[in-house]
Structure 1
């Protein structure tokens, strides 16, 4: 394929990639991070608020109207040829994990912005609107639950009473979700007002770094996602008996930390024994002790379990084995255990027709058949699939590293992604015209 100025609406796809990477880099440091020496952008923190303001300005420059919904999601809208037409949504998340990388989530928002900027530069519009959504809380890095604001747009937050669902959720400073929202004039119950009517959204598309090594190993810039793995997440609380480190006999201890340590190793052992069956992985990513001082036997420990697999069956069977092992260890060691479910997400297949359009777009750009792969990582797309058909585009990242400051992408790869997404929009528009033609006939 010969690339021209009309592919991106800028001087070249490479320039669009350079600009997108540069913007992500700008947003990777203070004041767009809550910490000076690393990237940490939790939902509703100072860095998050500054980021929303910066991207809002870029959206306006790209010809979009801008608003924040009742769940704090940032939404830019590029109108179609008909006012108030349904929208093709692009999106990803604005928040980050602690000490995270600059491109996870953010690159999907900024790459989509480059696509819209190109259309705006050419005065090109479609029978549908294009919207870009910067979701507020995908990572769950502030509160122990993920994708709250995505659930709000998709309308699945209403499946539970939001007030009850948020009960007991606190950040590291002890602040509740309700208190954090109150600081920006919002409420948990009010977040449900962000729900989008199904007839207002045609499809959802998310570009994201792969967060894995496949594309780099195969020398490919882009990949098309076939689906997102199933997930379950738990918070485990182990309650023993705190005591003086110098006077409590070893044989009489109810040490919550040593019990938790055995539990963590059991999770690793059982996960390894699964042999990566059906993409099975299990992770303990957080562990906190109380009181957390050198001369006290730990009385309480909290840790998390994150279990993922390609199917619910494999995931759930493994979870059952994990929980049985944890209960046995707790009983044997004379400690109490609380098992608190935090997430239960089904596998999310991408829409087959949208996948075909995305594969065509990638092949048109790269000159070779698109690589199709499963996402082991969770994304906003898995929630948005409950609102509208969804598709995902993966962008190569160096060594597959993510959730790490070493995260890196090639501007040229991002440029190809912008061109592919531009091509996808045009294919999607042609497809919509054909569908309307058949209906009118």
Structure 2
């Protein structure tokens, strides 16, 4: 028999908790909550209180990840992990990350209230460093849980010159304890995360919930186009070597390549620097960036090859030179097919259908995939807006997501899941 659920009430509770957590900020007018700050401490304490009220035992690891434990089969039983993060970008919205932690707590509260028996335990995780806004690193909290934390992170410094190591110590942690934060892979079944979509697809589909097929891989390029400066009034158009026009044509080529892809590819030229930057001088040099993301590594690599070929063709045609260098590369992280199926069934238990979709944004699941299979549930957000104070998810949608997590737990018996390492294709 299914656990009785009041979806509207779950949504209203989630909304109230979002507001309470969102009030913890270093700024009185906007939400900014960075890793290992006094605001992080207050947020972690509030989340820990909610976990205890939900019937969970609470611990905290060496990087400040708050862990709520439910162990109906004993502390040595294998664990299902559910969570997200509680740090934010500067001037953030209230839902990114935090909603996933809150929905997990509400789902576990419903489960513990009825005394559900399971042959495994569940840990709710509230990570503190997903956004990478204080130190030049990201996913370091989930990396520690997954056993892949890089000691080099400890030497990194924030904008005030404070090292990661010193910030940990000031937070009351011992850096030497970081290895103990890692789970034993043999004792972990899977990691599941609920998150706002951060995009407009669910809203366009008029559906509240989706199932993530993969966290997209990403490539970032720096492209330098060199031409020749000249007087804007005296050099005929046919004799110009205009670096900006060449760069613009290359940017349009990126767009064309992404639009032709069948794996949800997106491409962005987000930054462009023009030399000499004078109103009356033909641009001699342009440096621009390309951010290319896809749910298929093969598709992304093929797109990079096509772009490089097009960029050199355009440069030759316009008598320019072009140099392309990669400065960031992250492989696609597929979501485990069995977990996708289980989440889809859980969603259809409480709503009409689940939209299958890739995630173009990064998540803690990228680090957690090095530990165990991962699955993700997306919740519709208004206008697709995220990393912005206007970020919003409707209470009813959050209630449906919490209910879907409860149904997921109810249905979840010990499966035979193999670790899903990065680099696999979807």
TM-score by length of 2: 0.78
Which of the numbers 386, 393, 416 marks the counterpart of 2:370? Answer: 386
Match of 1:361 in 2: 346
Kindly tell me: are residues 52 and 422 of structure 1, through their superposed partners in 2, closer, same or farther at Cα, counting changes over 3 Å?
A: same
Kindly tell me: are residues 149 and 321 of structure 1, through their superposed partners in 2, closer, same or farther at Cα, counting changes over 3 Å?
A: farther
Match of 1:28 in 2: 22
**Range with greater deviation from structure 2 (55-64 or 169-178):** 169-178
Note the C-alpha offset of 1:315. 3.6
Match of 2:237 in 1: none
Note the C-alpha offset of 1:172. 2.1
Note the C-alpha offset of 1:306. 4.5
Note the C-alpha offset of 1:271. 3.4
Q: 1:95-134 counterparts in 2 under 5 A?
A: 95-134=87-126
**In the aligned structure 1, how far is the partner of 2:36 from the partner of 2:272?**
24
**In the aligned structure 2, how far is the partner of 1:338 from the partner of 1:432?**
46
Give the secondary structure class of the aligned counterpart of 1:402.
Answer: coil
Matched, 1:308 2:328: no
Contact 1:308 1:376 (8 Å CA) reproduced: yes
**In the aligned structure 2, how far is the partner of 1:162 from the partner of 1:269?**
41
Kindly tell me: are residues 424 and 97 of structure 1, through their superposed partners in 2, closer, same or farther at Cα, counting changes over 3 Å?
A: same
Kindly tell me: are residues 230 and 350 of structure 1, through their superposed partners in 2, closer, same or farther at Cα, counting changes over 3 Å?
A: same
Give the secondary structure class of the aligned counterpart of 2:80.
Answer: strand
Match of 1:7 in 2: 4
Q: 1:232-247 counterparts in 2 under 5 A?
A: 232=219
Contact 1:88 1:202 (8 Å CA) reproduced: yes
**In the aligned structure 1, how far is the partner of 2:204 from the partner of 2:115?**
39
Which of the numbers 28, 41, 46 marks the counterpart of 2:38? Answer: 46
Contact 2:258 2:266 (8 Å CA) reproduced: no
Contact 1:7 1:13 (8 Å CA) reproduced: no
Match of 2:50 in 1: 58
**In the aligned structure 1, how far is the partner of 2:65 from the partner of 2:126?**
6
Match of 1:350 in 2: 335
Match of 2:200 in 1: 213
Note the C-alpha offset of 1:40. 1.1
Contact 2:258 2:303 (8 Å CA) reproduced: no
Q: Number of paired residues?
A: 382
Note the C-alpha offset of 1:146. 1.4
Match of 2:387 in 1: 403
Match of 2:128 in 1: 136
Structure 1 residues not aligned, in runs of 5+: 239-249, 252-260, 289-301, 434-441
Structure 2 residues not aligned, in runs of 5+: 225-229, 232-243, 274-286, 417-426
**In the aligned structure 1, how far is the partner of 2:176 from the partner of 2:271?**
29
Deviations along 1:159-207, one digit per CA (max 9) or x if unpaired, are xx513x554x332223222232232244656433311111221111111
**In the aligned structure 2, how far is the partner of 1:100 from the partner of 1:338?**
33
Matched, 1:162 2:154: no
State the superposition RMSD in angstroms.
3.7
Note the C-alpha offset of 1:275. 3.1
Match of 1:79 in 2: 71
Which of the numbers 209, 214, 232 marks the counterpart of 1:227? Answer: 214
